[in-house]
Each structure stands twice: as C-alpha cells, then as structure tokens.
Amino acid sequence: MLLSMTRRDETQVVGARTSQWAHHLPRPRLLDELLAGAQRLRLLCAPAGYGKTALINECVRQSRPERCVWLDLEGHALTLAQFCQRLATGLQVDARDPLTLLTWLERSEDAWWLVLDDYPAQSCPELDQWLDRLLRSQGQVQLWVSCRQRPSWKLARLLLEGQLLELGAGQLAFDREEFERVVEWRVPAAEPAAREKLWRQTHGWCAGTFLLLNGAGRHERAGELWMRDYLGGELLARVDADERKLLLGIAHLPRVSTTLCQQLWPDIDAGSVFRRLLQSQSFFEPLDSDAHWYRLLPAVAQALLGELNAAGVSQVRLSACRLLCNDGFVDEAIELALSIGYVDVAACYMERLTLDWLLIERNLFTWLDWRARLPLRLLECTPNLIYMNARALLSSWRLDEAQACIARLARISPQPKASVNVRILANWQALEGTLQGLLGNAEGAFEHCESALQHLELRDWQSSFLCYSTLARVSMAAGNTEQAERLLQSCLALARHQGCLASEVLINADRIRQLILGGEWLEAEMLVKECLLLITRLSGRHSLLLGRLQLLQGELYLLRGDLDASEEALGMALDHGTESGDPYTLHALIGLSEVQACRGDFEQAQAHLSAATRAMQCAKIKENCYQAIILYQNLRLLARQGAWTRLLPMALAARACVQGDKPQLPPLHAPSLRQRIELMVALGEQGAGQTEAARKRLETLLADCERRRFGSLTREVQAALARANAESGVVSAGAEVPLAPFNLLANPRQEPVSTPRPGLDLTPREVCVLELVAQGLSNQEISNQLFISLNTVKAHTVHINHKLGVKRRTQAVMRAKAMGVLA
C-alpha cells in the first residue's frame, strides 16, 4: 500500500489511516518525544501490537509536513529496484534507478518525510546499503521506520551523531497511567484485582490489553481466543518450523537462555534459533540486567499453551527442571515438577532451599502453597524438610500444624554419629522454644532456646538467630526491656556477620516495634528509612519485608495524627502482606480500622475487623494469635462512640481471656496488649461512673507501664489518670500530657498537626511526590523510590493537579514553585 502527499492541505490522506485503529489512544508523552527533535532517523522497533503505525500516523497528522511519502511494506522483503519504483511513484518523479533517485533526494529543495511502515526483518542488503547512504547524505530527508527487527544499518554512528531516536517495546508499551485509561474506557467496572492481573499479563502491550479486555460478555469469543487468532497471524505465521517449535516449548517455561534452549532442543541448533527469535522481537522480556535470561510476555505464553500436546509439555518441563535447578533456579524447577505431577522430584528439589530463601520476596506464601500440594510423606521425609516446614508454619502462626511438625522432628531415629544427634536436638529445641514463646509460655521458651544456643553450630546460625529473636520478643512481652534490647543487638550482629540483609531487616522490625513501644518515635522513623534503603540493595520484589516496614510506617503516621499518610502506608502493608502470605496483615487491618474510627466511619472500621477475622481463619492461624487483638480494637471502637455500658463487660471478659487460668504471655507481636486492655477496663469504669475504681486501676497500670518502659502507653495512662483525678477532685502533679491528634484520649479541641503551605493543603506525601516530579522522575521511578504502588502515585498526582488547579505535571511544578511550595 502506498500513501503519499505533496502539500500541507493533503495531510488528511494519511490521517485517514486512523480508521484502521479503532482503539487508538492519544499518547502525548511519546508524541512529544518524537516531535521534539530533528533526527534524520526515528526508529520504532517492537513486536506486533505496540501501536507503532498509529503513533507515526499521529505524528504526521500533528506535524503536517510539507512533503511526505508513506510506504506500507507489510514486512515483505523488496529488492532495491522494487523499493525505488514504489518510492519514485510516491515522490511523483520520473527517476527510477537507485542512484538517480538518491541524487534527486539529495538535491531536492523540499524537506521530505519518508515513512517505511513494517520494514521487513529479512531485507535486501542492497536496499540496506542504499538507505544507509540516504541517511548519510545532505538531503533534507527524515526517515520514520517501524519494524520488528532492527535494520542492518549503521545505527551506532547515527546515535553518536545525534541523528537517531529509537523507541523499543519498553517505551512504546502503555505506562500504568495509560493502561488505566484504557481499562476505564473499555471496562470501567473492572475490579482492582482484575486490573492488576491484566497488567501483569501484558506489561502494557497495547494489542494484548485491548484483546484481553474484549472478553466474554462483550463479544461472542473470549479475549484469550482473540489473542490466539492475533498471534497466529502476527507471530506464528512469520516464523519457520524450528522457530515455531521453540516458541511453543518456551511458552511452558518460566525462563530461558541461549544455553538452556541448546540443551533442551539439541536437534535443531536451538541456541541459534533462539537468537533469531530475540532479534525478530518475538515478545521476549529480559529477566536480568545482563540480558542472559528471558521469558515470553505472560499474555503471549498463555495464549500459546494449547498449541503443544500433553506429552510434549511434560517432556520439555521435566528436562527443564533439572537444568534450571542446576543453574540455581530451584523454586522454578519445583514449580515445573509440580505442574506435571512429579511430586517426588519437587520434594527432592525443595531439600536444596535454605532459610534465607524463605525470608525473601513472597517465598513464604510459595512454600505454603507447595505444602498444600504435596503429600505429607514427602514433605517430612528428611530432617531438613521438617525443619523448613516448621519454620514456615511458625512464621505463619499456624501453631497447631507447627507443633505436630516439630514433634515429628523429635521422633527422628537416632543417627550413627553422636554429633549429628546433638545437632538435630539443638535445632529441634530452637523450634520448640519459639513455639512455646508463641503459645505464651515464657519459661518453656527460655528453657529450650537457651539450651539450643549452647549446642548450635555456626552453620546453623539461622537457628541461633531464631533463638535470639524469640528470647528478645519474649523478654519484651514480659516487660524485661533491657534484656530484650541486648538480645536484639545480639541477633542484629549475627545477621550482619552472616551478611544476610533480609534477616537484618526482620530483626530491625522488632527493634522498631520496641522503639515505638517506648515512645521513641523519631528514632523509629529513622530506622524505618534505614531499612527501606537496605531493601534497595536486595534484588527482587521483597513483599514480606516491605509489608513489615510499611506497617510500622503506617503506625508511626497514625501516632502522629496523619490519617491520610497512615491509610496509604497501611494499605500498602496489607497488599504486600497478602502477596507474601505474612500474618502481620492482621495489624494492617487493625490499623486501617483505627484510621476509619478516627474519621468517625465506624461502619468501615468494623468492616476492616471482619476482614481481619476472615483473613486469619482462612489462613488457618491459631486463635490465640489474633482473637484478643481484634477484641481489643472492638473495645476502642466502643470507647470512641462512648458506649460505656457495652464496653465495660466486654473489657472485663477480654481481661480474663488474656490472663488465662495460668500466667502466660500476650501474643509476641502485641507485647503491650494486656496493659492496653487494662486501660480499656479503666475507661469503661470511668465512663460507667466508677471513677474511684478507675483511678486506682490507672495508678497501678501507670506503675506497671513505667516499669516496663512502655513510653507511648504511659502517656495515655497519665492522660486518663489526670481526667479521673479531675473528676474525683484530686489535684494531679505535673503539666497536662500532650497527645497526638486523634488519640483516643486526646483533647477533642486538638487539631491535626500539618506543615503549613502557602495557599495549599497538600499532604506531606503529596509534596514528596511533587518534589520527585520536579526532578523529572517518571511515575514508575517515583513508585520505586517511595516504595508505593503505581496506582498510589497516580492518585497523588491527580490530587496534586486538582489542588493546584492544573492539568499537567509540568504545570504543577511551575505552579508549586511560584507559590513557594518547591524551591
């Protein structure tokens, strides 16, 4: 197809091509970049469906060049003579031979745009040489090229001369904001989970996004079927038999490399075939900075799954299991083995994983998922597997299962060597001591953990780490603050000596918890920031670690009365915790309930508590790990509503529940729970008119909190006691206790503290986002730097623009600088 124009008033000819793109989305960020410079070559190189043609068409429409020729090459190779014939027809000149045509372009007084749409992958060498000469000539020619494989031109020299602007699939894909606009346009009622799934499938691939949105209910055929049809014509029809064989096999693998392909398909020189596929832009994404490992775009892989028979799938996956495991990708090898029913192979590979692996990314969730898919005989066939299962279950608060698992480790047959028996026993004691601590048995925790520490070897440092951590948390819950600090420092030193950043961050989370408990909020905030920086040194997506830190950040914001920032951080903590299978989602939901209660939305606050109960029950978590904490938050909701007659009997029942028939610790993740429930009892007594009883209870509680160095809670008890004394006519010693806005015991007259801004009500987090926008960071870069989701960044930018009365990022920065918000 040939489209040309020779005068400005004929630009509508090319503009008519947009009728072929019913779903074209205006993309100003790319248009601005393409039209900003005057490079001789603009190269758009990406697989099918990235909007290359539509984008060039839009550039032509907006720029309205005086002279333009558009050649639709449709990926078909042309000889130099054929190409020159078509170009001359478009230029409307008589010159037909290549040299004459090149001379004519060099001498033309007009500035020409030559658009080569879908330039072929297997192009004629003579044509490539001719175009190279054209790009080096003095003619007033700008070449716009869309293609699926980089042409064999001297691109490096053009780049050095500043004459090349190249956009690949990464730049041409929808960013998250554009993706959300498409979803809002096509399926506005799509749930957040469905949007996130679609984003992870397509990573912004334009055609894939539209096709998968055209699911059942909009058309007779589901989106997946449309996708298969599309790839059949745009991908599979353009590859040879060997390339097709490779693509269909790779679709069933989590990652591939040139070497892996050669090992899996030695009969077809698969390494060379794979390199050809990479060069031809066949929807591969690099998985590392070295571009050694790749995977197919998930949406493409999913669409190709049905093309290979079951026997072929099993053969490819089984072979890949061994090779990936040998290359260090043990978890992916396990997943492949499970996918084809080779549970024995999966269990054998699980034996190779370490505790370091269990603590990072979302691997706790992954291990528990494997546990649900494997028979018990394989899960606990070796001491190491039993140990790993016990650690995963303890970390997930599934204490009944953990207890049974630890008991099986104790029953392992004696080993021939005494040293081996001592080692197994020491590791068993580390697990048993932790279990006893989580069950509230301080004596049992100390007995087993201290004994284990005397016999554990250096290679079992993770068990030593577990013992120190357990003893520190038990000491914290028992009120032995100084001892807890010493143990936490020992734990921290051990993690650092072993170079395990994940363990260092986890123990720092306990240190932050202790700082918050002691009322040292500034130090806690500094340590949170330090840990977030540590995580940036780890590769991968560390959902569990980020969830713990965002939870603590949200609690600190809440303590300072910043409800918006707290809700944002707690929401991210909930997302990360859910993704990683971390039971600390309980505290995220409790925090979100408190935020809504502070706003007076008690219905939503109660909904968060219901969600917390459901989440804990679905995760099979032992009731003593969460019930009293949810009950305590219910008491806070009643207190905020002044429902004292309901609160008091419930508080007394909660008090009896946490005390139990015999002395026991509160949950280790809520060390001040018993004292906080005692405060609720006192408030209930005061609200019910039992002021003297409340005053005596508060005096006793105050002494207890001061002894335990629970600084934050001490201030609340002091405030409650001051009120009780005032009601009883007792003069209180000392000044009024300052409390943060929205604190349950704060003076209702207090207003939230905020940083004043000239004429604005931007939140501190919005100002932070705006500062990064001013530095030129993209939404994705801001998301990475602040550890917040792209959706959150987008919401912030919308709020910023609204508050500043602007529509664009650049306008927001200019307005903020004019008003003194930014320097």
What is the distance of C-alpha 352 from the center of its chain?
A: 26
Residue 622 placed within a domain: no
Residue 220 has pLDDT above 80, yes or no: no
Mean pLDDT along residues 710-723: 91
pLDDT digits (tens, 9 = 90+) for 342-369: 999 999 999 999 888 888 888 999 999 9
Closest CA to 80 of 43, 132, 155: 132
Residue 218 has pLDDT above 60, yes or no: no
Beta strands in 157-267 (DSSP E): 164-167
DSSP 8-state secondary structure symbol assigned to residue 731: P
Mean pLDDT along residues 529-541: 86
Q: What's the pLDDT at 582?
A: 94
Residue 15 has pLDDT above 50, yes or no: no
Q: Are residues 18 and 99 in the same domain?
A: yes
Residue 241 has pLDDT above 50, yes or no: yes
Residue 754 has pLDDT above 50, yes or no: no
Give the domain CATH number at 685.
1.25.40
DSSP character string of 667-679: PTT-TTHHHHHHH
Q: Are residues 688 and 708 in the same domain?
A: yes
Residue 722 has pLDDT above 60, yes or no: yes
pLDDT digits (tens, 9 = 90+) for 762-818: 777 788 888 888 887 878 778 767 767 666 777 778 778 777 877 677 778 877 877
Q: Are residues 737 and 798 in the same domain?
A: no
Q: Are residues 228 and 158 in the same domain?
A: no
Mean pLDDT along residues 375-381: 88
Q: What's the pLDDT at 41?
A: 96
Q: Which residues have CB under 8 Å from 369's CB, separation 6+? A: none
**3-state SS string over 98-127?**
HHHHHHHHHHCCCCEEEEEEEECCCCCHHH
Q: What's the pLDDT at 752?
A: 41
Band of the pLDDT at 736, cuts 50, 70, 90?
A: low
Number of domains forming the structure of the chain:
4
Mean pLDDT along residues 672-679: 95
pLDDT digits (tens, 9 = 90+) for 32-88: 999 998 899 999 999 999 999 999 999 999 988 888 999 999 989 899 999 999 999
Q: Are residues 121 and 218 in the same domain?
A: no
Q: What's the pLDDT at 546?
A: 94
Query: What distance separates the 2 farthest-apart alpha carbons in the chain?
Result: 108
Q: Are 591 and 374 in contact (CB under 8 A)?
A: no
Q: What's the pLDDT at 761?
A: 66
Q: Are 764 and 562 in contact (CB under 8 A)?
A: yes
Give the domain CATH number at 19.
3.40.50.300
Over pLDDT 90: what percentage of the chain?
62
> For the whole model, what pTM was predicted?
0.79
Q: What's the pLDDT at 684?
A: 94
Question: Residues, the chain, total?
Answer: 823
Residue 656 placed within a domain: yes
Structural domain containing residue 128: 2-172
Residue 759 has pLDDT above 50, yes or no: no
pLDDT digits (tens, 9 = 90+) for 135-146: 998 889 999 999
Residue 663 has pLDDT above 90, yes or no: no
C-alpha to C-alpha distance for 111 and 65, rounded to whole angstroms = 8
Closest CA to 387 of 475, 452, 442, 343: 452
Q: What's the pLDDT at 737?
A: 67
Residue 578 placed within a domain: no
Q: What is the sign, positive or negative, of the torsion defined by CA atoms of 367, 370, 371, 372?
A: positive
Q: Are residues 226 and 129 in the same domain?
A: no
At 586, the amino acid letter reads: L
Residue 201 placed within a domain: yes
Higher pLDDT, 308 or 8: 308
Residue 823 has pLDDT above 90, yes or no: no
Give the domain CATH number at 783.
1.10.10.10
Residue 185 has pLDDT above 60, yes or no: yes
What phi, psi does 679 have (nearest 5°)? -65, -40
Q: What's the pLDDT at 10?
A: 39
Residue 744 has pLDDT above 90, yes or no: no
Residue 395 has pLDDT above 80, yes or no: yes
Mean pLDDT estimate for the chain: 87
Mean pLDDT along residues 237-258: 93
Q: Are residues 728 and 689 in the same domain?
A: yes
C-alpha pair distances (Å), 184 with each of 180, 192, 260, 455, 518: 6, 11, 41, 61, 47
Band of the pLDDT at 735, cuts 50, 70, 90?
A: low
Residue 225 has pLDDT above 90, yes or no: no
Higher pLDDT, 468 or 802: 468
Residue 245 placed within a domain: no
Q: Are residues 165 and 68 in the same domain?
A: yes
Q: Which of 18-32, 270-284, 316-330 has the lowest mean pLDDT?
A: 18-32
Tokens 């419930």 belong to which residue?
A: 650
Q: Are 546 and 535 in contact (CB under 8 A)?
A: yes
Q: Which residues have CB under 8 Å from 618's CB, separation 6+? A: none
Closest CA to 584 of 490, 510, 492: 510
Residue 17 placed within a domain: yes
Q: Are residues 6 and 126 in the same domain?
A: yes
Residue 755 has pLDDT above 70, yes or no: no
Q: Are residues 43 and 113 in the same domain?
A: yes
Q: What's the pLDDT at 787?
A: 62
CB atoms within 10 A of CB 315: 15
Residue 4 has pLDDT above 50, yes or no: no
Mean pLDDT along residues 4-23: 39
C-alpha to C-alpha distance for 817 and 823, rounded to whole angstroms = 6
Q: Are residues 130 and 219 in the same domain?
A: no
Q: Are residues 149 and 64 in the same domain?
A: yes
144's enclosing H/E stretch is: strand 141-147
What is the distance of C-alpha 33 from the center of its chain?
A: 29
Residue 9 has pLDDT above 50, yes or no: no
Q: Considering 201, 234, 267, which residue would you say is the last residue of a domain?
A: 234
Q: Considering 234, 250, 266, which residue would you say is the last residue of a domain?
A: 234
Residue 715 placed within a domain: yes
Q: What's the pLDDT at 258?
A: 95
Band of the pLDDT at 751, cuts 50, 70, 90?
A: very low
Residue 460 placed within a domain: no
C-alpha to C-alpha distance for 403 and 393, rounded to whole angstroms = 9
Q: Which of 184-193, 263-272, 401-410, 761-770 has the lowest mean pLDDT?
A: 761-770
Q: Are 658 and 628 in contact (CB under 8 A)?
A: yes
Q: Considering 132, 155, 172, which residue would you say is the last residue of a domain?
A: 172
What is the distance of C-alpha 813 from the center of its chain?
A: 28
- Which two tokens mark 289? 């900075």
Tokens 């996004």 belong to which residue?
A: 209
Band of the pLDDT at 630, cuts 50, 70, 90?
A: very high
Question: What's the distance, Cα to Cα, between the start and end of the chain in Å?
Answer: 54
Q: What's the pLDDT at 530?
A: 93
DSSP reduced 3-state for 3: strand
pLDDT digits (tens, 9 = 90+) for 297-306: 999 999 999 8
Residue 702 has pLDDT above 50, yes or no: yes
